[in-house]
Amino acid sequence: MGSLMKDFSEVKAKNSSDEALQRWRKACWLVKNHKRRFRFTANLSKRSEVREIQKSNQEKLRVAVLVSQAALSFIQGISYTVPEEVKKAGFEICADELGSIVEGHNLRKLKVHSGVEGIAGKLSTSLTDGISISDESLDHRREVYGINKFTESPAKGFWLFVWEALQDTTLMILAVCALVSLVVGIATEGWPRGAHDGLGIVASILLVVFVTATSDYKQSLQFKDLDKEKKKITVQVTRNGFRQKISIFDLLSGDIVHLSIGDQVPADGLFVSGYSLLINESSLTGESEPINVTSANPFLLSGTKVQDGSCKMLVTTVGMRTQWGKLMATLSEGGDDETPLQVKLNGVATIIGKIGLFFAVITFAVLVQGLFSLKMNQGSYRSWSGDEALEMLEYFAIAVTIVVVAVPEGLPLAVTLSLAFAMKKMMNDKALVRNLAACETMGSATTICSDKTGTLTTNHMTVVKACICGKRKEVSSSMKSSAFCSDIPDSVVKMLQKSVFNNTGGDIVIDKDEKIQILGTPTETALLEFGLFLGGDFLAERRVSKLVKVEPFNSTKKRMGVVLELPGEGFQAHCKGASEIILAACDRFLNSNGEVVPLDESTTTHMKDTIDEFANEALRTLCLAYKDIGIDFSAENPIPFEGYTLIGIIGIKDPVRAGVKESVAICKSAGIMVRMVTGDNINTARAIARECGILTDDGIAIEGPEFRMKNEEELQALIPKLQVMARSSPMDKHTLVKLLRSTFEEVVAVTGDGTNDAPALHEADIGLAMGISGTEVAKESADVIILDDNFSTIVTVAKWGRSVYINIQKFVQFQLTVNVVALIVNFSSACLTGSAPLTAVQLLWVNMIMDTLGALALATEPPNDDLMRRQPVGRKGNFISNVMWRNILGQSIYQFVVIWYLQTSGKSVFYLDGENSDTILNTLIFNSFVFCQVFNEISSREMEKINVFKGILNNYVFVGVLSCTVLFQVIIVQFLGTFANTYPLTMRQWSTSILLGFLGMPIAAAIKMIPVGSAVNSSSSRSIYLSSATDLKP
């Protein structure tokens, strides 16, 4: 089986090569309906087109920059005429001109229009206050410059799904058979008697088509809703003088957008002001080298990412007028990668289909040979009647229908159905799945490497302690500023305010309701609130000095620095960040008199003890420091990082989230190890980890720098016990993830929120980005976005992942049982009796029960708490486990014995004779076979447990499908005999059929007692969650 599945085993959950995706498509040649089977697979030609567009963009930008630079000296004589419709709308520049300036990096044209200020004026906007908001003016902007949306393929309507369902090759052949049957039947037997068989097949085909189309249409609606959620991105803009958040789709030309590290540039635009701005244009051009954007090179392109720094941007071009809009329109047609499970089940379907095709050909040959033998014995092989022609056609229809039943087209589609159902439900549980395969993989996770801030904690930060002038002081909302500052010199308070208000990535603004609004990360917000508590005035403080240079905080440096130009005093650098790092850069401090004095050993020890004391109370600690750097400083130079004067130490409280401790305990019971990887102080990390239940007595907590110094042998001994890594860099996290995956063969889920977390999120089996605190770069690298930043949601994702996998296994077990029995029954009957007990119409109904309806019933089972009491499987195992083979073979043998017994002894047992005895017997066989499937469907709800009724009434889909199946079976048998070749059964015959089906349940329970290795405890059968979902990367 392994060699047969080779081409279907190379697809990974992330970053599969186009060659691997192409190989399995070619290997999957036996397909009934190409449109349906390959609907949820990647469009490789569109992806190739996107790569060509990126190459073209790269070349265009390179040429544009060179031409623009060369043409700067030829500005004279260039003129621009404003179109009349643009003038009437109140603007002085058209969209095409703006596009040619920014997309073409045309400095020459920009100069002609008087630079960024001139463009702003012509767009009727203010670089400080943004555009003025009125419905009329916004409408004018939309009309002239367009909206910030790209063209998407129109949604498919229901009738298109009906048309695609009709593309099934076997159904087409059956339709031809039905047509021939109608013509021959009417010609020989007249209307309506001669049309019954043909109309029966037509009705069955239509029923299959409409049920299939309805199921597919509902799936498409679910995916469409999820796609909308994926595209929800908000940006900060200034409009009417007020900062506010709006959707990127509401952006208009003339808007002033505020960008910071990790943001995606939402439209084409021009740099207004900012610091240390590095832009990564790889998503647009494929070029990985970041571009430094300044006033001299002010062009910002939609879809690129802010790698470092921050800026204010003037939006010029939006939507389909940008290269990113055109690229996204093409990319949206590229589709998502197929999941490993989809591909593996396509392989299973292909192999079983080949077996079914072989049996179908043999069955047809045996039936035809039987008819020829009869004709030869009668000596009438030269003359054929209409009835005999119809009989031959029926044989062909049976053979084709065996292929319909044998090719389990529903296997790979059941994955899509289950994933669509799970993704919709997970959305309600605050988890947005970006990569389909993550649903499968998360069910196999053995390790979760979690951030601390915002994931395990609430991310609502407040300053609760401070050490100023060597004095430890508590801070509370009930305390007055005067009480806190009573024994602190005014000069120190002013320096503290200057440092807090200038050295920040946040902002304090007045909103449209004239209320103070603090913007920024939770840490920045807490510090700015502390500055206000001290009696400071943010805007007044910012006006006193000029900000010359900013080095934004990132998780590698673990600090932020600014340089201020003070009137008449020269330059002053301010620094804040990780306490021990900033303290190590200080050689002086402000004493209780406000004097700058040397930082001696005893004072340093006192400061370190203060940091440890704050950290042991689970507080996040930060140090603030400053340095006078004279009058000779250039913004081109780096900010110095030594010889600082310590201003103070701040302790910030970030409480642990409610329910985290319970969620960590659930993970442990599920065999998932939770590790904390944080940039915080090790004592803070230990305190929080113990509170969450992550750090145990025998667990190890280590700092990133120490981790980096370990050799391979030491890491082998360390990592299994490693539970906390503090002061870690993004590369420490990446290294840990890589080692866990490769050396220890763990299936790793990683959380991240910053730009620098992208490598670890990309490396992990499942990347989990934070929806609230996460940057757009982190979200784009992630497989799942945790919308509420809550660790408990990660546990929910793991539960849903396990549910998806186990549901698909249940469905596969159920479908393969029907496959085996239907094939063997028709084949053996054809060989031994010369006739097939199940007709084409009946087999089509059975196919619908096991395919579309079976998938609906079993693939949409909601998760239960028992799933999180199982052990995960990691990377190894077979998809169809020993447990499944035991259940399939046991149930198949029972069903075959029942059907064979009815076929050989049914007439004598039920005293059947007369002209309708064969039809009644075949109806009895058909009815018993269907009820065997009904009760087997119930038994398939649990693969190992005896109690299969637990929670059955909570799954309305399952109950509904089962009820509809039974109802339609009664109608087919009792009322549609003319079309379905059935005969109304007596109460005794009905009771026997149902009893024979029901007996399959105690048989199934007995079979489950046969030991083949427990999926819960035995490592040999950990396959219950499949290697394909976890065999992600080489």
**pLDDT tens for each residue of 855-880:** 778 888 888 888 888 888 666 656 67
- The residue annotated as part of the active site, out of 7, 197, 268, 451, is 451
554-558, 773-777, 872-876, range with the lowest pLDDT: 872-876
Q: What is the pLDDT of residue 847?
A: 74
Partners of residue 235 on adjacent β-strands: 246
| Burial group, residue 1022, by CB count within 10 angstroms (0-12, 13-18, 19+) | buried
Distances (CA, A) of 198 to 208, 839, 889, 944: 16, 12, 35, 44
Higher per-residue pLDDT: 24 or 268: 268
Q: Which amino acid is at 693?
A: G
Q: Which amino acid is at 489?
A: P
For the chain, give the number of residues.
1034
319-333, 848-862, 899-913, 930-944: which is most confident: 930-944
**Residue 91 CB-half CA count within 13 A:** 26
- Is residue 337 pLDDT above 50, yes or no? yes
Q: What is the pLDDT of residue 1015?
A: 45
Higher per-residue pLDDT: 293 or 844: 293
* % the chain with pLDDT above 90: 26
What's the pTM value of the predicted model, to 2 decimals? 0.78
Distances (CA, A) of 811 to 849, 852, 985: 12, 11, 30
Higher per-residue pLDDT: 335 or 498: 498
Q: How far apart are the first and last CA of the chain?
A: 21
| Burial group, residue 949, by CB count within 10 angstroms (0-12, 13-18, 19+) | exposed
- What is the rounded distance in angstroms from the CA atom of residue 859 to the CA atom of residue 345? 14
23-37, 160-174, 461-475: which is most confident: 461-475
User: Band of the pLDDT at 1031, cuts 50, 70, 90?
Assistant: very low
Q: What is the pLDDT averaged over residues 518-528?
A: 88
SS3 sequence, 964-1028? HHHHHHHHHHHHCHHHHCCCCCCHHHHHHHHHHHHCHHHHHHHHCCCCCCCCCCCHHHHHHHCCC
User: Band of the pLDDT at 32, cuts 50, 70, 90?
Assistant: low
- What is the rounded distance in angstroms from the CA atom of residue 231 to the CA atom of residue 245? 15
104-118, 232-246, 374-388, 477-491, range with the lowest pLDDT: 374-388
Q: What is the pLDDT of residue 34?
A: 63
For the stretch 66-124, pLDDT in tens is 555 555 445 444 567 888 888 888 899 998 889 888 888 888 888 888 899 999 999 99
74-88, 247-261, 356-370: which is most confident: 247-261
Q: What is the pLDDT averaged over residues 665-690?
A: 91
Partners of residue 116 on adjacent β-strands: none
Q: What is the pLDDT averaged over residues 1005-1024?
A: 60
Return all residues near 706 (Cβ < 8 A) that are at least 6 apart: none
Smallest Cα–Cα separation from 642: which of 561, 566, 551, 553?
561
Rounded to the nearest angstrom, the gap between the alpha carbon of residue 877 and the centroid of all alpha carbons in its chain is 24
Q: What is the pLDDT of residue 1029?
A: 36
- Is residue 1 pLDDT above 70, yes or no? no
User: Band of the pLDDT at 522, cuts 50, 70, 90?
Assistant: confident
Q: What is the pLDDT of residue 659?
A: 87
Provide φ and ψ at 265, rounded to 5°. Answer: -70, 120
Partners of residue 652 on adjacent β-strands: 463, 620
Q: What is the pLDDT of residue 392?
A: 78
Smallest Cα–Cα separation from 657: which of 434, 442, 799, 450?
450
| Burial group, residue 248, by CB count within 10 angstroms (0-12, 13-18, 19+) | buried
Q: What is the pLDDT of residue 956?
A: 87
Two tokens, residue 203? 């009705």
- Is residue 726 pLDDT above 80, yes or no? yes
Paired sense of beta strands 766-770 and 748-752, if any: parallel
Q: What is the pLDDT of residue 25?
A: 65
- Is residue 4 pLDDT above 80, yes or no? no
Orientation angle between helical segments 196-230 and 386-406, nearest 10 degrees: 20
Q: What is the pLDDT of residue 650?
A: 95
User: Band of the pLDDT at 262, cuts 50, 70, 90?
Assistant: confident
Residue 295 CB coordination number (10 Å) = 12
Active site residue 168: no
Q: What is the pLDDT averaged over residues 157-186?
A: 78
User: Band of the pLDDT at 63, cuts 50, 70, 90?
Assistant: low
Q: What is the pLDDT of residue 724?
A: 95
Q: Which amino acid is at 583?
A: L
Rounded to the nearest angstrom, the gap between the alpha carbon of residue 542 and the centroid of all alpha carbons in its chain is 42
The answer to whether 273 and 314 are in contact (CB under 8 A) is no
- Is residue 838 pLDDT above 60, yes or no? yes
42-51, 212-221, 223-232, 936-945, range with the lowest pLDDT: 42-51
186-190, 468-472, 622-626, range with the lowest pLDDT: 186-190
For the stretch 416-430, pLDDT in tens is 778 778 888 888 888
What is the phi-psi region of residue 831: left when phi exceeds 0, alpha when psi lies from -120 to 50, beta otherwise? Answer: alpha
Higher per-residue pLDDT: 139 or 530: 530
The answer to whether 21 and 42 are in contact (CB under 8 A) is yes
The answer to whether 891 and 1007 are in contact (CB under 8 A) is yes
For the stretch 618-651, pLDDT in tens is 899 999 999 999 888 888 888 998 999 999 999 9
Q: What is the pLDDT of residue 598?
A: 92
User: Band of the pLDDT at 853, cuts 50, 70, 90?
Assistant: confident
Q: What is the pLDDT of residue 47?
A: 60
- Is residue 832 pLDDT above 80, yes or no? no
Orientation angle between helical segments 840-848 and 917-939, nearest 10 degrees: 10
Q: What is the pLDDT averaged over residues 442-464?
A: 87
Return all residues near 354 (Cβ < 8 A) that are at least 6 apart: 30
- Name the CA dihedral angle for 176, 179, 180, 186, rounded to a multiple of 10 degrees: 170
For the stretch 127-139, pLDDT in tens is 988 898 776 778 8
Q: What is the pLDDT of residue 487?
A: 87
| Burial group, residue 391, by CB count within 10 angstroms (0-12, 13-18, 19+) | middle
Q: What is the pLDDT of residue 1032?
A: 32
Cα radius of gyration rounded to whole Å, the chain: 35
Q: What is the pLDDT of residue 90?
A: 86
User: Band of the pLDDT at 831, cuts 50, 70, 90?
Assistant: confident
Strand order in the sheet with 447-450: 431-433, 784-786, 766-770, 748-752, 447-450, 673-677, 722-726, 700-703
Q: What is the pLDDT of residue 623?
A: 95
Q: What is the pLDDT of residue 1019?
A: 36
Q: What is the pLDDT of residue 409?
A: 66
Q: What is the pLDDT of residue 478?
A: 80
Q: What is the pLDDT averaged over residues 183-189?
A: 71
229-238, 577-586, 779-788: which is most confident: 577-586
The answer to whether 331 and 8 are in contact (CB under 8 A) is no
- Is residue 509 pLDDT above 50, yes or no? yes
Instruction: Please tell me whether the peptide bond between 598 and the residue prior to it is cis, using omega within 30 degrees of 0.
Output: no
